[in-house]
């Protein structure tokens, strides 16, 4: 049985590797680049879990990007997140220009703690690098019983990736939103999306794998549709998701991340909101009602071309559980690049 992939890219040749071996390899690479052992391990396991969950754009292929950013000085391998309160009492995690994965997890942990004390909380994250799959963080908040909302924005000077609706020049980052809420018997409901037609990671994945991008997602520097990832890196742009709706969401996130919290450095800033769902009803009653609703949705007759109606978050957990004993199917060209990186660093 082969691992299931859920890629937006048409990739023919893949190499399947055990998840534990990939986690160990990525950990060794990050440690060699200067990360502390705990951060290296947390980052590696996050990327592996994203790949197992079918989120290839934020999975193991990011090892290449993270290594490039550490070696160039853009991201600090020694950066460790720290938590503080500003003079107005706001809780903020400073990522110190390091990998964003431990920074956002620290913010979620603090936000859940505060929400359990007072019912609702807000924690911001600043000065951090790429944060991996944001859905994983809001899912952890939901598992703790909180409606967890995460909004990322800022950094339009460093990451002018997405053209505004009606424009052809990249002006905004892909500014993601993620929501996690406790669900029914099968776990939390999780929604995680970029405000662009595709996440930036898919462009890096396509370039790394040597394949075309999905149609109608990217334009070249003249505003013409293209599927060549090189056109994006040569002054092109990603189109906004759902036209004016995606653009509006991206601009709102930019106002939050750049104007209210920023200016952003390294990548983007984040705002996390947690609400303890037991403010409104006890956990058992909530779960019963949630399962009744979700089960009703699942039973909706599927449209042509669909096997069933799914609940956001359940597919990723099912894929992770199925794929973990089978391994991760990595595009062959991407695996060659990671192998070359490991050899150059003397690890693996």
Query: Residue 210 above 90 pLDDT?
Result: no
Query: Residue 333 above 80 pLDDT?
Result: yes
pLDDT computed for residue 283 by the predictor: 93
Give CA–CA dist 190/203, Å, rounded: 24
**Percent of the chain topping pLDDT 90:** 91
Categorize the per-residue pLDDT at 202 as very low, low, confident or very high, splitting at 50, 70 and 90: confident
Q: Tens digit of pLDDT for each residue in 85-112?
A: 999 999 999 999 999 999 999 999 999 9
The answer to the question of residue 254 being in a domain is yes
Q: Tens digit of pLDDT for each residue in 159-192?
A: 999 999 999 999 999 999 999 999 999 999 999 9
pLDDT computed for residue 206 by the predictor: 87
HSE of 281, CA atoms in CB hemisphere, 13 A:
8
Q: Tens digit of pLDDT for each residue in 24-36?
A: 999 999 999 999 9
Query: Residue 216 above 90 pLDDT?
Result: yes
Rg (CA), the chain: 20
The answer to the question of residue 56 being in a domain is no
Q: Give φ, ψ of 37 to 5 degrees.
A: -60, -40
199 CB-near residues (< 8 Å, 6+ apart): 57, 58, 174, 176
User: Which structural domain range is residue 157 located in?
Assistant: 79-328
Q: What is the mean pLDDT of the chain?
A: 95
The answer to the question of residue 152 being in a domain is yes
191 CB-near residues (< 8 Å, 6+ apart): 135, 177, 178, 179, 180, 312, 313
pTM of the model: 0.93
The angle, 0 to 180 degrees and rounded to 10, between the axes of the packed helices 62-72 and 200-209 is 100
Domain count, the chain: 1
For residue 263, whether the previous peptide bond is cis, meaning omega lies within 30 degrees of 0, is yes
The answer to the question of residue 33 being in a domain is no
Q: Tens digit of pLDDT for each residue in 108-155?
A: 999 999 999 999 999 999 999 999 999 999 999 999 999 999 999 998
pLDDT computed for residue 99 by the predictor: 98
8 A C-beta contact, residue 109 and residue 141? no
> What's the mean pLDDT in 231-253?
97
The answer to the question of residue 284 being in a domain is yes
Query: Residue 238 above 90 pLDDT?
Result: yes
Give CA–CA dist 282/102, Å, rounded: 31
pLDDT computed for residue 8 by the predictor: 66
8 A C-beta contact, residue 184 and residue 287? yes
Q: Tens digit of pLDDT for each residue in 287-308?
A: 999 999 999 999 999 999 999 9
The answer to the question of residue 35 being in a domain is no
The answer to the question of residue 73 being in a domain is no
The answer to the question of residue 340 being in a domain is no
pLDDT computed for residue 1 by the predictor: 66
Q: What is the CATH number of the domain that holds 323?
A: 3.30.1370.60
């Amino acid at each position: 049985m082969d691992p299931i992939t859920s890629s937006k890219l048409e990739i023919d040749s893949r190499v399947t590797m055990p998840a534990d071996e990939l986690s160990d390899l990525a950990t060794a690479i990050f440690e060699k680049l200067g990360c502390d052992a705990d951060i290296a391990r947390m980052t590696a396991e996050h990327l592996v879990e994203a790949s197992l969950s079918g989120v290839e754009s934020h999975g193991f292929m990011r090892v290449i990007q993270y290594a490039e950013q550490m070696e160039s000085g853009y991201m600090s391998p020694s950066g460790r997140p720290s938590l503080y309160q500003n003079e107005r009492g706001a809780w903020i995690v400073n990522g110190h220009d390091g990998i964003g994965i431990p920074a956002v997890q620290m913010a979620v942990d603090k936000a859940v703690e505060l929400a359990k004390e007072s019912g609702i909380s807000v924690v911001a994250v600043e000065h951090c690098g790429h944060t991996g799959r944001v859905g994983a963080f809001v899912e952890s908040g939901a598992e703790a019983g909180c409606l967890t909302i995460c909004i990322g924005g800022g950094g339009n000077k460093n990451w002018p990736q997405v053209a505004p609706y009606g424009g052809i020049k990249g002006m905004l980052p892909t500014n993601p939103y993620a929501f996690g809420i406790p669900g029914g018997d099968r776990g939390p409901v999780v929604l995680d999306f970029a405000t662009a037609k595709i996440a930036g990671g898919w462009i890096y994945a396509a370039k790394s794998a040597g394949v075309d991008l999905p149609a109608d997602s990217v334009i070249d520097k003249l505003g013409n549709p293209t599927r060549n990832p090189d056109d994006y890196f040569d002054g092109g742009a990603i189109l906004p998701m759902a036209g004016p709706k995606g653009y509006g969401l991206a601009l709102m996130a930019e106002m939050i991340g750049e104007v209210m919290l920023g200016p952003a450095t390294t990548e983007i800033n984040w705002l996390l909101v947690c609400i303890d769902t037991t403010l409104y009803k006890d956990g058992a009653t909530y779960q019963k009602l949630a399962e009744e609703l979700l089960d009703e949705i699942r039973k909706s007759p599927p449209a042509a071309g669909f096997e069933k109606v799914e609940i956001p978050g359940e597919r990723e957990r099912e894929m992770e559980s199925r794929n973990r004993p089978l391994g991760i199917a990595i595009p062959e060209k991407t695996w060659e690049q990671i192998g070359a990186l490991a050899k150059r660093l003397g690890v693996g």
